[in-house]
Amino acid sequence: MGLRTNFHMRLLKAVTDMQAWSRKLRTENRGIGFVPTMGALHEGHLSLVRRSKDENDFTVVSIFVNPTQFGPNEDFKQYPRDLEGDLNKLSSHKIDAVFVPDSREMYPEGFSTSVHVGKLGEILCGSSRPGHFNGVATVVAKLFNIVMPDRAYFGQKDFQQTAVIRKLARDMNFGTDIIICPTVREADGLAMSSRNSYLNRDERKAAAVLYKALKHGEALIKSQGTSDASVIKNEMEQMLNSEPLATVDYVEIVDVGNPGEVKDIKTPLAICLAVKIGNTRLIDNVIVNY
Ligand code: PAF
């Protein structure tokens, strides 16, 4: 069942092989941890892998650049792909299985069913990326049915994605625990992302402004007690706009448990932003608890 790579890590390409292996583990009462990815793995992904390995008997990583979550003018074709590098990283982490389906395997001819996440998919990133979160929810639902994990691991960097997937798991009774892990950052605070590889030298330097603005917003709330969300957003936008290579898509302050916009600073909050640096759209957030 499936190929065995020379790193003693199962490489599974067929849905039926992945399901058969997961089913066997489940009948043996083995806990399965799952890290879904689109590949081009970096330290952020590997932190999820380590956490899954700590908490489960077996860890499965999927690598699939999911076409249905990219809009027609987005970067599906250019999205970084490095299967060999990814497999090397995963084998040195002694992962049990990697699921690497192709598009035909995930979306065979005649495929037409999809998950609609509703309003939560239309705010924040959803307003400039219509349909994106339906694509994410559809592929994650499929992956959950294929891998049948006990726990699935996602990075906090994609705040809205984590909210969508938590809701998906709850609304559709998946019975998979959704574990959200802290954002892993470069030395200057830039959140690790496969899309950082699009940045040239100047853009890479400029991209540090995202985290700087988030920390400024956090300080306004925590140290200065600012309680008007519009004041915080304005100051953050000013800071972001002072970077010539940056174009702000949005800065929003939302309730962590119910990500609609908030006017007064009361609950645990997520300060979220999306900013274009040159042609590369980056997202980041910080959670403010007090
Ligand atoms: O975060 C990602 O890499 C993707 O959105 C995911 C969850 C693997 C679904 O394609």
Could you list the pLDDT tens digit for every one of the 290 residues in the chain? 555 555 579 999 999 999 999 999 999 999 999 999 999 999 999 999 999 999 999 999 999 999 999 999 999 999 999 999 999 999 999 999 999 999 999 999 999 999 999 999 999 999 999 999 999 999 999 999 999 999 999 999 999 999 999 999 999 999 999 999 999 999 999 999 999 999 999 999 999 999 999 999 999 999 888 889 999 999 999 999 999 999 999 999 999 988 876 666 777 899 999 999 999 999 999 999 87
For ligand 1, is residue 160 a contact (CB within 6 Å)? Answer: no
Alpha-carbon span 27 to 214, nearest angstrom: 46
- pLDDT at position 265 is 74
Q: Quick check: CB of 136 below 6 Å from ligand 1?
A: yes
176: in domain: yes
Pick from 281, 240, 41, 14: which is nearest to 146 by CA?
Answer: 14
- Identify whether 113 is part of a domain: yes
Q: Are residues 126 and 32 in the same domain?
A: yes
Which tokens is 167 given? 């809701």
Whether residue 24 is contained in a domain is answered as yes
Measure 58 CA to ligand 1 centroid, in angstroms.
20
Going from the Cα of 35 to the center of ligand 1, the distance in angstroms, rounded, reads 9
Q: pTM for this one?
A: 0.96
Choosing from 42, 45, 93, 132, the catalytic residue is 45
Is residue 243 within 8 Å of residue 209, measured between CB atoms? yes
What is the predicted pLDDT for the residue at 2? 52
- Same domain for 211 and 114, yes or no, is no
For residue 156 and ligand 1, the question of a CB distance below 6 A is answered with no
3-state secondary structure of 222: helix
Structural contact between residues 134 and 245, judged by C-beta atoms closer than 8 angstroms: no
Counted domains in the chain: 2
Same structural domain for residues 96 and 212?
no
250 with 274: CB under 8 angstroms?
yes
Q: What is the pLDDT of residue 262?
A: 67
Residue 20 is assigned to a structural domain of this protein:
yes
Question: Which residue has its alpha carbon closest to ligand 1 atom 1?
Answer: 37
- The verdict on the CB of residue 140 being under 6 Å from ligand 1 is yes
Last residue of a domain, one of 181, 210, 226: 181
Instruction: Please indicate, yes or no, if residue 223 is contained in any of the structural domains.
Output: yes
- Do 221 and 88 lie in a common domain? no
- Rounded CA separation 91/108 (Å): 29
Residue 276's H or E segment, with its range, is strand 269-277
Backbone CA torsion sign across 59, 62, 68, 73: positive
**Ligand 1 pocket residue status of 61, Cβ below 6 Å:** no
**Does residue 45 have an active-site annotation?**
yes
C-beta of 203 in contact with ligand 1 (< 6 A): no
CA-to-CA distance for 147 and 26, rounded, in angstroms?
Answer: 10
Q: Are residue 173 and residue 236 in the same domain, yes or no?
A: no
Tell me: do 231 and 171 sit in the same domain: no
Cα 169 to middle of ligand 1, angstroms: 15
* Ligand 1 geometric centre to CA of 153 (Å): 11
Are residue 128 and residue 258 in the same domain, yes or no?
no
- What residue owns the CA closest to ligand 1's atom 9? 136
Checking 224-228 for CB contacts under 8 A at 24+ apart, the result is 226/265, 227/264, 227/265, 228/263, 228/264, 228/265
Domain containing residue 236: 194-284
For a substitution probing ligand 1, which of 158, 283, 284 has the most ligand atoms within 8 Å of its CB? 158
Q: Distance between CA 134 and CA 117 in Å, rounded?
A: 6
